[in-house]
Structure 1
Amino acid sequence: MEERGHLLTEQVNPESLTLDSLSALELVELFNREDAKTVEAIAAAKHQLAQAVDRIAEKLRHGGRLFYAGAGTSGRLGVLDAAECPPTFCTHPEMVQGIIAGGAGALVRSSEDLEDLFEDGSEAIAHRHVTELDVVVGITAGGTTPYVHGAIQAARQRGATTVFIACVPAEQVEIDADIDIRLLVGPEVLAGSTRLKAGTVTKMALNILSTGAMVKLGKVYGNRMVDVAVTNKKLRDRALRILGDLTELSRSECAELLERSDRNVKLALMMHWTGLEKDKAHHLLNQHQGNLREAITSIQG
């Protein structure tokens, strides 16, 4: 087996050498100090993250898809981020997809041995018929996961935009990808347990990529999720609060407006601010690729 002890994610953290003798409070304080490094790591990679946001938004705007590919914790984080896009931004489930080594079963049961299969990563990309319209984000804390490298290589061969996310410096693990994002949080409190800082910083990065791309796609107005899917009581309440805050209508008036728009917050706002009926408001939004601000500006001259 390949020796990986030189990797940053596998090294021993000198700050936690006495981990097993710390009190609960000392443990919490240590974790808190170490977790602060995740924010620094995001800041250090801000230019690469911004580049990825722009590329993802561009591809999605033209009908492409975003895929996260990973194994273990990295794969689970990708699946989680993908799963949260439809309720948050009312996206089609196929727009953002998580691919994890071992499939759905690996979400709840460890299947880490499957990360060593390069060909499985390649096959996962082929199975989803990835094209030049798509973006594939390979996620691997230690940077060496064969499954992820197989996915990235297959995606490049198909002309897709490739993004690589790892928590080791480029000189330790090289990759041929369009955008190379290194989130350097240092050795873990528990040596080699990359579900800790590496997992946290990866979650932060994926939050930025998906949310940033959706903002660029016009799925947000100001800082409100105007494309929220109203599928339960909590989300209906959120929709009514958004409408109330932005229109100053009463809650009952917001409820009536929401129903007239088929529970579509963005469409409800469009109807209220322009006076257009539902079909015409919907048509105008479509003309502006769903960007509410652009649609409103166009009619207000």
Structure 2
Amino acid sequence: MDRTTEKDSKYTGLENMPLSELLRNINNEDKTVAGVVEKAFEQIEDLATIVTEKMRIGGRLFYIGAGTSGRLGVVDASECPPTFGVPFDRVVGIIAGGDGAIRKAVEFAEDDTQQAWKDLTAFNINETDVVVGIAASGTTPYVIGGLQMANEHNIATGCIVCNSGSPVAAEAQYPVEVVTGPEFITGSTRMKAGTAQKLVLNMLSTSVMIQLGLIKGNKMVDMQLSNDKLIDRGTRMVMAETKVDYKTAAKLLKEYGSVRNAVEAHSKR
């Protein structure tokens, strides 16, 4: 296996580099990420297809990962309910070491090949679900073990990795390999690799939710109205769809709880 994420940075003497040069070089490396994500388009489409199929029959999407990769999965999962109005348990992010590892690294948590399956079984995982392992290196034992056990239980598996020919990708039925190459700081996969994983996660969850009918036009009609900014946004969306004034739209939104429900209720009047 060629672990390009661990190869030496093409930059050196970073501690002596002027700030402007540091920033420009980091940005130059970041510019390469979208291009390599594009090369994995067909793999992303295959993964999004199976996730959509499973979620249409009531299945759930699980992300498993360690460190930065695990945190990215937790972030994507946690943003689905407020954005798309899905229940909090439809997309679940699990990080090695438990939720405490989101803020503080848990030593050796990623090296336990058994723990991911234990974490998944706590959610009564079954054949309608999909497990996506996220691992920049593609070698994380926690993720490998979780995917192996999911496969043994006839559960669809995918992955997002940043090296080619990795053990994680070998276990995944629907692998996504986004080969980002050496990092600006050698081995610091929170940088380009993390950015690439975030882009793929955005594409995956957003395209799935759109296909499930949770966006109308280009609007988040099922978003949770959890703060004044979102209530104002929702009110203006209702105004645009129904042609009522702001006060009336706000009243409809408050009464029916979502943009979709408010618009539908108004159309039946």
- Quickly name the TM-score band, shorter chain normalised: over 0.9
How far apart, in 2, do the equivalents of 1:153 and 1:250 lie? 56
| Runs of 4 or more consecutive aligned structure 1 residues displaced over 3 Å after TM superposition | 171-174
- Residue 267 of structure 1 corresponds to 261
Aligned counterparts, 1:123-134, within 5 A = 123-134=118-129
- RMSD over aligned Cα atoms: 1.6
Using the alignment, how far apart are the partners of 1:172 and 1:178 within structure 2? 12
**Alpha-carbon shift at residue 173 of structure 1 (Å):** 6.4
User: Is the deviation greater in 173-182 or in 160-169?
Assistant: 173-182
Query: 1:214–1:112: structure 2 CA closer, same or farther, 3 Å change rule?
Result: farther
Q: Which has the higher contact order (CA 8 A, sep 6+)?
A: 2
Q: 1:128: how far off?
A: 2.2
* 2:169–2:177 CA contact under 8 A, matched in 1: no
9, 29, 36: which is aligned to 1:13? Answer: 9
CA distance in 2, matches of 1:256, 1:197: 46
Q: Distance in 2 between matches of 1:111 and 1:213?
A: 32
Q: Deviations over 1:170-199 (max 9, x none)?
A: 268651221110111111000001011111
The answer as to whether partners of 1:243 and 1:254 remain within 8 angstroms in 2 is: yes
2:64 corresponds in structure 1 to: 69
**Structure 1 stretch 125-134 or stretch 206-215: which is displaced more?**
125-134
Hey, what does 1:191 align to over in structure 2? 186
Counterpart contact for 1:38–1:185, Cα < 8 Å: yes
Q: What CA distance in whole angstroms lies between the structure 1 residues aligned with 2:168 and 2:232? A: 47
| Deviation for aligned residue 1:266 | 0.7
CA–CA distance in structure 2, aligned partners of residues 108 and 243 of structure 1: 38
Calculate the TM-score normalised by the size of structure 2. Answer: 0.95
The answer to whether the 8 A contact 2:139-2:166 is kept is no
**Percent sequence identity over matched residues?**
41
**2:251 is the counterpart of 1:223:** no
> Unpaired segments of 5 or more residues in structure 1?
277-301
- Counterpart of 2:143 (choices 122, 141, 148) is 148
Q: Which amino acid aligns with 2:39?
A: A
Which amino acid in the other structure matches residue 152 of structure 1? L
Contact kept, 8 Å, 2:234 with 2:259, in 1: the verdict is yes
Relative to structure 2, which stretch is displaced further, 208-217 or 229-238?
Answer: 229-238
Matching residue of 1:24: 19
Deviation string, structure 1 residues 41-63 (Cα, Å, up to 9, x no partner): 21011111112112111111111
For normalisation by structure 1, the TM-score amounts to 0.85
Contact 2:43 2:176 in 1 (8 A): yes
Equivalences for residues 149-228 of structure 1 within 5 A = 149-170=144-165, 175-228=170-223
Matches within 5 A, 1:234-249: 234-249=229-244
Task: Show structure 2 runs of 5+ residues with no match.
Answer: none
Measured in 2, the distance between the counterparts of 1:217 and 1:46 equals: 20
Q: Which amino acid aligns with 1:79?
A: V
Determine if the alignment matches structure 1 residue 113 to structure 2 residue 79: no
Q: CA deviation at 1:112?
A: 4.6
For 1:206 and 1:173, the matched residues in 2 are separated by 17
Provide the residue aligned with 1:279 in structure 2: none
Question: What number of residue pairs does the alignment pair up?
Answer: 269
Q: Which has the larger radius of gyration?
A: 1
Return 156-165 or 63-72, whichever deviates more: 156-165
Q: CA deviation at 1:162?
A: 0.4
